[in-house]
Chains A and B, each alone.
Chain A
Amino acid sequence: MKKIISLLLVAAMSAGLLLGCQKKEEKAEQGQTELTIWWWGEEDVPGSKAWLEQTAEAYEKENPGIKIEMVQQTSDQLVPAWETSVQAGAGADIQFFWTGTYTLMYVWDEENRSLADLTELIPEEEMEHWLGTEGVSWGGQAWAAPWYQVSIIMLYNKELFKSAGLDPDTPPADWDELLAACGKLKESGVIPFENGGMKDGFNTPWMYSTMGIASHDSPKEFIEAAVNEGSFADESNKLWLERLYELNEKGYLNPLTMSNDFPSGRESFLRGESAMGLVTNGQALQWIEDMGGEDKVGIMRIPAYGDGAMAGKQNVQSQAFGIPEFSKNKEEAADFIVFMHQPEQLKSFYELTKNFPADDRFDSDTLSSESEKFLWDYLLNDSTVYPSLYVPSMVHSQGNYAAAQMVLSGSTAKEAAQYVEDIAEEWRKMSPDECEHFKDWAENYIE
């Protein structure tokens, strides 16, 4: 008798355990297809979550047989979760990707391709409208659908400029002008340039994308640097570190930069403590509004930190959605992706996030303010890629991050650049396969 009771107890506990597994799950009803989306983006593009929820709801209304489940990922987990899902053969039906290496590394190996062929799922007329597909293209086709285009732009505080005796309508356009402006701003008592918090290093890609492009003529050079020995320590790849070093040495940066973390370090601009600052384009418009409008705060072109053809261009990264090869609901996933690109959805995306969707059907006539028009124009006519997506992820996250911190802690640019090159050497040894693909990528790169 006691044995039976104890067995029942164990059974009850096991039931409790299983219940814990099912807790807080919304079970899809019978006959429904459940689409799972693993996504990221709220940090770069505040408002994207609201848009996704809204869009999913609209789609579900039109398609009652589909239920959409969205799982937001954190920056740390996006890639490992995806990688694991590939190894496990189960995961999302729609997967978010940072582009460049982060997408292509799952595509360029034909035998082990983890992304489904979109040309078989989505009509060509649809794919033609997508913007920013360079970062996801291989073998002449796009392997993921770009979602939005985000840029790191530079704001400047017109009032602080005036107080320092600078012309608020002509912000510095190249390196020498920048140095001169910083000098005057420093004298007037403010932080000339807020480059963002560097304690955790996450701000590095922002500096890499604004300063690092200046010594290059083409994104191909970044890809090649990965493959060619010694390249990360050469002049063109060292430039951004030299610039950073000089800005820091002259005291033009935030003295607390090594104590501040990425998300909040840049906020000194919002508080009026620094005269120039880096921010994403969507957040910029919000800040301009918060700080009193276009009379007080303006968007400036990225100064030309060097002489390369890419100098001063607007960096743009598209972040994209792909369909994993293992998904069992590819057609439904593709259909939803197409839905996300319809003009009505594009419009509401801009309204909610102030970031440009990656589709040329976006109606730019809806842009009202000067700043918005400026950004759109800059994006369309004078933009380039986001370079940290074009170097191996290890070189960037281990090398560049540490190099930037080294330079801000007093090491010379030469030492820091050599460190990056050392990491690259290690990468070449550790990942010969990836190295081969980078070679292919460089050879087949079309401007």
Chain B
Amino acid sequence: MRTGYKRRQRMGKWLLSAGVAVFIFVDLIPIFFTVITSFKSRDEYVYNVFSIPERWSLENYANLFEAYDVPQMFLSSLTVTVIPIFFIVYFGTMAAFAIGKFEFKGRRIFANMIFPLMSIPSVVMLFPLFRLFSKLNMTNKFGSVIVIYIGLILPFILNMLTSFMSSISSSYLEAAMIDGCGFWQMFHRIILPLLAPALSATTIVGAMWLWNEMLIAFIFLQDEAKRTLVVGLTSMQGLFQLDVPLLMAGATITTVPVILIFVFGQKWFIRGLTAGGVK
């Protein structure tokens, strides 16, 4: 009797698994479409929208590289992703350390401000910031985007880091204090190393957000020579709207870096994203 039940249960699980697999397959069709279409010639796409290309072609990528300075755009994206991330994680961990481990006036306020800050759309900050950076003659310069990104993503990062911070035992830190450890030392020799995996998670998730950001990069880096991949793709959409394979090639190139990091760092991704919500 029992074995029959177990077998039925296992079969049930396999059935469910198959069902979920089918669902996921359908769910990912748009992504298959994107990649497959990017290898279809424009002429073929006119009559063959749905199936595998009869003739795999790299012409879209060639056209893409010819029409746009893709390496430059890649570098731009890299610049506005990598440079801010270090500051963000460093400043963020410092702040999370303060909020998570110290009692001080205003701590409650800061802790409670994190979520509201996350809910403010960037479009609200857009025009005043543009005015500010115009005055400083910093529009169309990477510095403006870097500074803005640091501030913009900090709340999201803080949200993640404060929950990671609670995993470090206070008594352990107090013991270190008794041993004569200064706070600055504590931060660099205890907190940061202990949080290393959490910081990797935060860095990866933060990098994903920054790489994918459009509005700020769009408004502050209009110069063709400085555009990021995402912004470049958006402007491509208007000019080459009818050339779907070309657009798909652009979409693929823009997303491949993030997908690669995701594939190799899924553990970090999941850990980072979950930290924000599961306390």
Binding site for B on A (CB under 8 A): 2-3, 6, 13, 16-18, 20-25, 71-74, 77, 80-81, 84-85, 87-91, 197, 200, 260-265, 267
CA distance A6 to B83 in the complex (A): 18
Q: Which of A3, A73, A77, A260 contacts B242 (CB 8 A)?
A: A260
B127 interface residue per 8 A CB criterion: yes
B235 interface residue per 8 A CB criterion: yes
Inter-subunit contact B79/A77 (CB<8 Å): no
CA distance A91 to B135 in the complex (A): 8
Inter-subunit contact A20/B241 (CB<8 Å): no
B3 interface residue per 8 A CB criterion: no
CA distance A53 to B87 in the complex (A): 38
Query: Chain A contacts of B209 at CB under 8 A?
Result: none
Query: Chain B contacts of A261 at CB under 8 A?
Result: 237-238, 241
Q: Which of A13, A23, A89, A267 contacts B135 (CB 8 A)?
A: A89
Q: Which of B146, B222, B239 contacts A264 (CB 8 A)?
A: B239
Please give the distance in Å from B85's CB to the nearest CB on chain A.
12
Instruction: Name which residue of chain A comes closest to B146, CB basis.
Output: A20
Given the interface contacts A20-B79, A264-B240, does A77 sit within 8 Å of B146 by beta carbon?
Answer: no
Given the interface contacts A6-B184, A6-B188, A24-B142, does A263 sit within 8 Å of B239 by beta carbon?
Answer: yes
* Number of residues from B at the complex interface, CB < 8 A: 38
- Not counting A72-B222, A90-B134, a sample of 5 additional A-B residue pairs whose C-beta atoms are within 8 angstroms of each other reads A3-B184, A21-B138, A21-B143, A81-B222, A263-B238
Please give the distance in Å from A92's CB to the nearest CB on chain B.
10
B267 interface residue per 8 A CB criterion: no
Inter-subunit contact B146/A91 (CB<8 Å): no
Query: Chain A contacts of B185 at CB under 8 A?
Result: 2
Inter-subunit contact B223/A21 (CB<8 Å): no
Given the interface contacts A20-B142, A21-B142, does A87 sit within 8 Å of B223 by beta carbon?
Answer: no
CA distance A262 to B127 in the complex (A): 27
Inter-subunit contact B127/A84 (CB<8 Å): yes
Inter-subunit contact B241/A197 (CB<8 Å): yes
B33 interface residue per 8 A CB criterion: no
B45 interface residue per 8 A CB criterion: no
Inter-subunit contact B241/A18 (CB<8 Å): no
Top 8 A-B residue pairs of the complex, sorted by shortest distance between their CB atoms: A21-B143, A88-B134, A88-B135, A261-B241, A264-B241, A264-B242, A84-B134, A20-B142
Interface flags, B165-189, vs A, CB<8A=1, else 0? 0000000000000000000110010
Inter-subunit contact B222/A2 (CB<8 Å): no
CA distance A72 to B132 in the complex (A): 21
B131 interface residue per 8 A CB criterion: yes
Q: Which of B213-264 contact A (CB under 8 A)?
A: 219, 222-226, 235, 237-243
B8 interface residue per 8 A CB criterion: no
Q: Which of A25, A84, A88, A262 contacts B238 (CB 8 A)?
A: A262
Inter-subunit contact B219/A2 (CB<8 Å): no
A24, A77, A87 interface centre (most CB from chain B within 10 Å)? A24
* 18 sampled A-B residue pairs with Cβ under 8 A: A2-B185, A17-B143, A21-B138, A22-B141, A73-B222, A74-B222, A77-B222, A80-B219, A84-B131, A84-B134, A87-B131, A89-B135, A90-B134, A90-B135, A200-B238, A261-B241, A263-B239, A264-B243
Q: Which of B129-160 contact A (CB under 8 A)?
A: 130-132, 134-135, 137-144, 146-147
Inter-subunit contact B188/A2 (CB<8 Å): yes
CA distance A72 to B243 in the complex (A): 24
Query: Chain A contacts of B139 at CB under 8 A?
Result: 81
B86 interface residue per 8 A CB criterion: yes
Inter-subunit contact A24/B83 (CB<8 Å): no
B79, B144, B146, B222 interface centre (most CB from chain A within 10 Å)? B222
Q: Which of B109-143 contact A (CB under 8 A)?
A: 127, 130-132, 134-135, 137-143
Instruction: Name which residue of chain B comes closest to A18, CB basis.
Output: B143
CA distance A18 to B137 in the complex (A): 14
Query: Chain B contacts of A20 at CB under 8 A?
Result: 79, 83, 142-143, 146
A18, A23, A262 interface centre (most CB from chain B within 10 Å)? A23
Inter-subunit contact B135/A16 (CB<8 Å): no
Inter-subunit contact A13/B238 (CB<8 Å): no
Given the interface contacts A2-B185, A71-B140, A89-B135, does A77 sit within 8 Å of B87 by beta carbon?
Answer: no
Please give the distance in Å from B142's CB to the nearest CB on chain A.
5
CA distance A220 to B129 in the complex (A): 39
CA distance A253 to B204 in the complex (A): 50
Inter-subunit contact A72/B184 (CB<8 Å): no
Query: Chain B contacts of A25 at CB under 8 A?
Result: 141
CA distance A90 to B237 in the complex (A): 32
CA distance A23 to B130 in the complex (A): 19
Instruction: Name which residue of chain A comes closest to B143, CB basis.
Output: A21
Please give the distance in Å from B49's CB to the nearest CB on chain A.
14
Inter-subunit contact A71/B223 (CB<8 Å): yes
CA distance A92 to B231 in the complex (A): 23
